[in-house]
Amino acid sequence: MAVTLGRSALEGAIAMSEAIDLLEDMLRHEASGRTATSPKYVTDFKGGSMRILFAADYEAGYCATKAYHVIQGAGVRYIVTLYRHSDGEVLAILDGSVITDLRTGAASGVAARRVAVSEPVSVGVVGSGNQARMQLESIAAVYRIATAAVYSPTQENREAFASDMSAKLGFPVQAAASAQDAVHGRSVVVTASNARTPEPIVLGAWLGECRLLCAVGNTRAQFSELDMQCFADAALIVADTEHAFHEAGEFRRASEAGVLPAVNRATLAQLVSGAVRVPREGLVVFKSVGSALQDLALASRYYERLGERGVPTAPDLGRVR
């Protein structure tokens, strides 16, 4: 009988460093041809939209679907369903919000492990929600961070982020008055904004000596976080999967502008397998739109760790975020 694992059961069960390790294991399976993954299927309907993904990891022995839907004015709900590959049995139904936040942070951590950054490391964050928090935690799991700054449009939110993350991670995080102030002069920049606009929120002209730029907030074709100069200036451009190069709005516009040449781009699996090496100098841009393989990597570990303990069905499955 399938177990049901809600948000409260999952929180804290997997640490960030372990999540990064899990994604790296999955990416090695992907690089060796031992996985399958679908593009993101999006259906818009009156008052909302539904997105569905599928993945299989033959090496791990699992399949998974991820479904998340938005209802205008009500928020987003995420559900991950885990299957055994050998016979298709449904093993677990999991709240997907914790999985989504953690695997998105961990994906940036996978990229960061391969990008050498000179100390002292300083980080600029645009966004102050759960994704932004996970991004900073992930970067902190890889680098020894000296300082960080955060910007989001609501002063109360950015100040709360600065206070909370300073206490949690042990280095000073300051609230900045603008996105430019948050990212200027920083060696690592992450964007995890919930802004929904075709106008970019971070400009390449602001980045200076930035070594690693991770953009995770936008996954839709009509929106952007980064301007085209970010891509034009990049020594290497990395995405979760090949699907992402055709899905993300920034990638589509970069391709049209001629600043996304095939010789300058790679997937995370290519980095982890060593098929593509990160240049020793220059800007590395990582654009994440997520993948069901990432969800599967974490969902299977949650199931193995919690499902067999008889964790009871949780009332907060797929709760509104």
pLDDT of residue 163 exceeding 90: yes
Which residues pair with residue 78 across a beta bridge? 68
Q: Which of 1-5, 171-175, 227-231 has the highest mean predicted lDDT (pLDDT)?
A: 171-175
Domain ranges of the chain: 3-101+293-309, 105-290
Model pLDDT for residues 93-138, shown as the tens digit of each residue: 999 999 999 999 999 999 999 999 999 999 999 999 999 999 999 9
By CB atoms closer than 10 A (0-12, 13-18, 19+), residue 41 is: exposed
Percentage with pLDDT > 70 across the chain: 93
DSSP 264: G
pLDDT tens per residue, range 207-262: 998 999 999 987 666 667 899 999 999 999 999 988 888 877 788 888 888 888 88
Tell me whether domains 3-101+293-309 and 105-290 share a fold: no
- pLDDT number for residue 311: 57
Q: Residue 91 above 80 pLDDT? A: yes
**Position 76 confidence tier, pLDDT thresholds 50, 70, 90:** confident
pTM value is 0.93
**Which span out of 6-10, 66-70, 299-303 was modeled with the highest average pLDDT?**
299-303
Residue 267 DSSP symbol: E
- The HSE-up count of residue 110 (CA atoms within 13 Å, CB side) is 33
**At 297, which helix (H) or strand (E)?**
helix 292-306
258 token code pair: 């001629």
User: What tokens were used for 275?
Assistant: 């098929």
Cα–Cα distance, 190 to 217 (Å, whole number): 9
pLDDT of residue 171 exceeding 60, the answer is yes
Least confident of 77-81, 173-177, 184-188, 198-202: 198-202
What is the distance between the alpha carbons of residues 88 and 103, in angstroms, rounded to a whole number?
24
The dotted CATH code for 3-101+293-309 is 3.30.1780.10
Q: What is the mean pLDDT of residues 81-89?
A: 97
User: How far out from the chain centre does Cα 230 lie?
Assistant: 18
Query: Which of residues 252 and 148 earns the better pLDDT score?
Result: 148
Tokens of 87: 């016979």
Give the pLDDT band (50/70/90) at residue 6. Answer: very high
pLDDT class for 195, splitting at 50, 70, 90? low
The arithmetic mean of pLDDT across residues 282-307, rounded, is 95
Contact indicator for 2, 65 with CB cutoff of 8 Å = no
Most confident option among 66-80, 104-118, 187-201: 104-118
Asked whether residue 321 carries a pLDDT value surpassing 70, the answer given is no
Cα separation, 190 vs 161, whole angstroms: 14
**Which architecture does CATH list for 105-290?**
3-Layer(aba) Sandwich (3.40)
> Who's near 153: CB < 8 A, 6+ residues apart?
none
The two three-digit tokens of residue 85, written as one number: 């590959």
Which pLDDT value is given to residue 111? 97
Can you tell me the distance from the alpha carbon of 281 to that of 260, in angstroms, rounded to the nearest whole number? 18
List, edge to edge, every strand of the sheet that includes 234-239.
Answer: 173-175, 145-151, 121-126, 188-191, 212-215, 283-287, 234-239, 265-267
